[in-house]
């Protein structure tokens, strides 16, 4: 199954995509994770992307389109994949449709006030890629999965979160109507517990746990 997870920052795209990846044995392709890895490794792509990510702006279309096009050619994507954070503009969606067929677009819906709370409390593990919320951590500095130090993403500062929400509304939200018109969109609430929201996603996809 070729899937897109769409939704505002903090909707839970990464959390649910990683769970579905483990369950269905298809890769989660997060452009945000790929770009952050390039930044950590100091590649020329990472250097180009850093200024945009830190400011909460979108990285130019041609950069991410090239990245995803190459990734989707890899062997592990041939049985299906979950695109997490791509496409984010109509131009990206048009490019994507020229090189792959999408089966469903899962649109996760969430109000801005909840997003602000979630993202300002998010901690991530740069080692195992785990994502956590401080409210559910015994020690907010240590990864409960691998024991390494947790960090707060630079773009999870309140002012940058507000800008990301604005960018989402202007540049990404038009994809909801775009995919609805193509008959591919399914919408699920993102404001329940992680388990409730995940069950909602399985249901619209017709998958049993």
Q: Find the binder of ligand AP5 among 3, 6, 9, 105 (CB under 6 A).
A: 9
Question: Helices in the chain by DSSP H: which ranges?
Answer: 13-24, 31-41, 44-55, 61-71, 90-99, 112-120, 158-167, 174-181, 194-205
Structure tokens at 117: 């709370």
Residues 155-174 that bind ligand AP5 (CB under 6 A): 155, 164
| Position closest to ligand AP5 via CB | 32
Compare residues 142 and 194 and give the one whose CB is closer to ligand AP5.
194
Whether 88 is catalytic:
yes
Using rule CB under 6 A, residue 85 touches ligand AP5: yes
188: phi then psi, degrees, rounded to nearest 5: -130, 150
Round to whole Å and give the CA distance between 131 and 99: 31
Q: Which residue has tokens 């024991």? A: 147
Count of residues that bind ligand AP5 according to CB under 6 A: 35
Given 36, 104, 122, 123, the catalytic residue: 122
Judge if the upstream peptide bond of residue 87 is cis by omega within 30 degrees of 0: yes
Round to whole Å and give the CA distance between 73 and 122: 32
In angstroms, give the least distance from the CB of 11 to ligand AP5: 4
In angstroms, give the least distance from the CB of 103 to ligand AP5: 19
Q: Which positions touch ligand AP5 (CB under 6 A)?
A: 7, 9-15, 30-32, 35, 52-53, 56-59, 64, 85-86, 88, 92, 118-119, 122, 131-133, 155, 164, 192-194, 197
Known catalytic residues are 13, 88, 122, 153, 164
């Amino acid at each position: 199954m070729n899937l897109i997870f769409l939704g505002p920052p903090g909707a839970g795209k990464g959390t649910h995509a990683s769970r579905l990846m483990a369950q269905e044995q298809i890769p989660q392709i997060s452009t945000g994770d790929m770009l952050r890895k390039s930044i950590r490794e100091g590649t020329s792509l990472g250097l180009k992307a850093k200024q945009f990510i830190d400011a909460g702006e979108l990285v130019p279309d041609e950069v991410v389109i090239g990245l995803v096009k190459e990734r989707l050619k890899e062997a592990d994507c041939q049985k299906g994949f979950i695109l997490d954070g791509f496409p984010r503009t109509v131009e990206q969606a048009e490019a994507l449709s020229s090189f792959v067929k999408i089966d469903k677009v899962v649109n996760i819906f969430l109000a801005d006030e909840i997003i602000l709370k979630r993202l300002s409390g998010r901690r991530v593990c740069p080692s195992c890629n785990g994502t956590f919320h401080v409210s559910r951590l015994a020690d907010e500095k240590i990864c409960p999965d691998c024991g390494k130090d947790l960090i707060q993403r630079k773009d999870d500062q309140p002012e940058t979160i507000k800008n990301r929400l604005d960018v989402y509304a202007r540049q990404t939200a038009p994809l909801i109507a775009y995919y609805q018109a193509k008959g591919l969109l399914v919408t699920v609430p993102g404001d329940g517990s992680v388990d409730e929201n995940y069950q909602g996603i399985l249901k619209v996809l017709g998958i049993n746990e």
